[in-house]
């Protein structure tokens, strides 16, 4: 296939894909088979020599829903020499992201300072509403440098179990409270 025909085929695919993306943007429809259209669109833009458009689209997607998955997709389109520039932009977007997504992404970015600062400002009720799949990895990562924040997370995990009256998991709640106590002691906050 000649370069001209290949380029024409890509433009044709891109045009058809745009129609699919328009349909996909209708919130009433399920993503189903169209879940990869966004990624395909960016790949096609890159192949057509429009990497800036692909990056712009990936950034737009990440900005709407900052989490580990949209970040991984974004990274594919950021040139290595521009990663530090985008790192600051990513942190800014994460500052307003949904808490569970923000925790996962900040852990991935190894931004413990930023994570600890955000969690200190977060209410206990908000932390209790999160799954232990989200809070436990954060507590384990923060225990050495930020034992006060880790204690808050362990306490929230224990209270989540107790408040939900999940007696089957009371042993886990006790373990969480014991871990919280050790962390509070390490932070010099045992009398709080």
111-129 tens-digit pLDDT: 999 999 999 999 999 999 9
Q: How far is CA 80 from CA 84, 90, 143, in A?
A: 8, 15, 32
For residue 32, pLDDT beyond 70:
no
pLDDT of residue 27: 47
pLDDT of residue 14: 52
Containing structural domain, residue 136: 113-192
Q: What percent of the chain has pLDDT over 90?
A: 69
φ, ψ at 90 (rounded to 5°):
-65, -45
Residue 154 lies in a domain: yes
Residue 168 lies in a domain: yes
Q: What percent of the chain has pLDDT over 70?
A: 81
Report the number of distinct structural domains present in the chain. Answer: 1
Q: At what angle do helices 99-108 and 83-94 cross, to 10 degrees?
A: 150
pLDDT of residue 77: 94
Residue 146 lies in a domain: yes
Residue 133 lies in a domain: yes
Q: How far is CA 174 from CA 44, 45, 95, 140, 142, in A?
A: 53, 53, 32, 17, 20
Please report which confidence band the pLDDT of residue 29 belongs to, taking 50, 70 and 90 as the band edges.
Answer: very low
pLDDT of residue 28: 45
Residue 102 lies in a domain: no
Sign of the C-alpha dihedral computed for residues 15, 20, 21 and 23 taken in this order: positive
Residue 158 lies in a domain: yes
Residue 117 lies in a domain: yes
Residue 8 lies in a domain: no
């Amino acid at each position: 296939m000649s370069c001209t025909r290949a380029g024409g085929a890509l433009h044709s695919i891109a045009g058809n894909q745009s129609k699919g993306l328009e349909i996909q943007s209708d919130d009433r429809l399920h993503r189903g088979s169209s879940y990869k259209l966004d990624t395909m669109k960016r790949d096609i833009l890159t192949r057509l020599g429009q990497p800036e458009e692909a990056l712009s689209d990936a950034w737009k997607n990440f900005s709407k829903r900052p989490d580990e998955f949209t970040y991984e997709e974004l990274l594919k389109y950021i040139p290595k020499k521009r990663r530090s520039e985008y790192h600051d932009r990513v942190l800014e977007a994460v500052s307003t992201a949904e808490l569970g997504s923000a925790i996962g992404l900040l852990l991935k970015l190894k931004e413990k300072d930023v994570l600890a600062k955000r969690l200190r400002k977060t209410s206990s009720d908000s932390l209790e509403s999160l799954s232990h799949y989200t809070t436990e990895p954060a507590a384990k990562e923060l225990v050495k440098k930020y034992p006060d924040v880790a204690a808050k997370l362990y306490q929230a995990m224990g209270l989540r179990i107790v408040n939900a009256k999940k007696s089957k998991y009371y042993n886990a709640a006790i373990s969480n409270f014991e871990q919280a106590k050790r962390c509070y002691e390490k932070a010099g906050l045992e009398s709080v």
